[in-house]
Amino acid sequence: MYDESRIMWISNIEQVFISSMNTLELIVNTVLNNNLLELGAFVGLWFGLDSLQNMDDLLAYTSLSIVPDRQCALPITITVCPEINLFDGIYTVGLFLNAVNPNSLVASVSLLQGKARYYQQSAITVLSHTPKIINCFYSVPDHVKPGFRLDWVILHKGYVPVINNSNMLAHTNIQSNKSSGTAIIDVEHVFLEPGDYIVQYNLGHSMNTVSAAFTFSLA
């Protein structure tokens, strides 16, 4: 069984505010220990509600940086060219973990006539646990196809997210292209002693791009 000692880390965008017709302010949150500078993480803005297909479609973007041992909650300012009025039209703002990679989207929000709508994030949680499986629920933005992107869920021993560490206890690949669903980690042959564990949602079958994590304790 597991107790109530749980901590969730998510990737999201919040507190979106258009401060002028050409300037957007917001807060982005990413998972503890991600090296955003090394990854080339960025926030970008583009026309419409469709997914970003090409970096050339960006109207503006801001690169992110933070030291790896701190949780990331960063204030961001995005400025577009004077010909664009953010109070008029439909736009999408996205948080991406990898440089020059539109497929690394982990959070998004839509701007409809100057109003922020449809906040979407990356998150994972543990639904249940038995001696054989850990049953997780994940969610990513609608534009993401996790199976196509080769996303996976990793189990580690410990209390905080682990970056670029091959000593995982177990993992499972996301097979579905739905933006939310269950992921079952097989732990039948893994000895899980009492203590803290963490499940991580890593995008693109990478060891160092964690878009969500959930800590839980086994008693």
Cβ burial, residue 31 (10 Å; 0-12/13-18/19+): buried
Q: What one-letter code names the amino acid at 83?
A: E
Give residue 3's pLDDT band: very low, low, confident or very high (50, 70, 90): very low
The reported pLDDT for the residue numbered 104 is 96
Q: Are 208 and 164 in contact (CB under 8 A)?
A: yes
Same domain, 112 and 20: yes
Average of per-residue pLDDT values in the chain? 91
Whether residue 123 is predicted with pLDDT greater than 90 in this model: the reply is yes
Q: Are residues 136 and 79 in the same domain?
A: no
Rounded CA separation 87/97 (Å): 27
pLDDT of residue 71: 58
Q: What is the CATH number of the domain that holds 148?
A: 2.60.40.2840
Q: Print burial letters for 173-199: b (CB count within 10 Å at least 16), e (below 16).
A: ebeeeebebebebebeeeeeeeeebbb
Q: Is the confidence at residue 147, as pLDDT, over 80?
A: yes
Could you write out the DSSP letters of every residue in 96-164?
A: ESSTT-GGGEEEEEEEETTEEEEEE-BEEEEEEE-SSEEEEEEE--TT--HHHHT-EEEEEESSS---S
Are the beta carbons of 159 and 208 closer than 8 angstroms? no
Q: Are residues 30 and 59 in the same domain?
A: yes
Residue 189 falls inside a structural domain: yes
pLDDT top residue among 136 and 2: 136
Residue 165 confidence (pLDDT): 72
42 and 91 in a common domain:
yes
- Mean pLDDT along residues 100-126: 96
Average pLDDT over every residue of 45-60: 96
In a domain, 87, yes or no: yes
Whether pLDDT at 199 is above 80: yes
Say yes or no to pLDDT of 6 above 80: no
Helix (H) / strand (E) containing 12:
strand 12-20
Task: Examine the pLDDT at 68 and tell me if it is beyond 60.
Answer: no
pLDDT digits (tens, 9 = 90+) for 171-185: 999 999 999 999 999
- CB contact at 8 A, 140 and 122: yes
* In the predicted structure, residue 2 carries a pLDDT above the cut 80: no
Q: Give residue 43's domain range.
A: 7-120
What CA–CA distances, in Å, run from 183 to 19, 65, 82, 196, 203? 40, 30, 45, 20, 14
Q: Residues 79-89: pLDDT tens digits? A: 999 999 999 99
Whether residues 74 and 178 share a domain: the answer is no
In a domain, residue 12? The reply is: yes
Identify whether 211 is part of a domain.
Answer: yes
Of the residues 82, 100, 120, the one at which a domain ends? 120
Question: Of 64, 93, 120, which residue sits at a domain end?
Answer: 120
pLDDT value for 67 = 59
Residues 104 and 132 in one domain: no
Judge if 168 and 91 occupy the same domain.
no
| Predicted TM-score (pTM) of this structure | 0.93
* Same domain? 111 vs 152: no
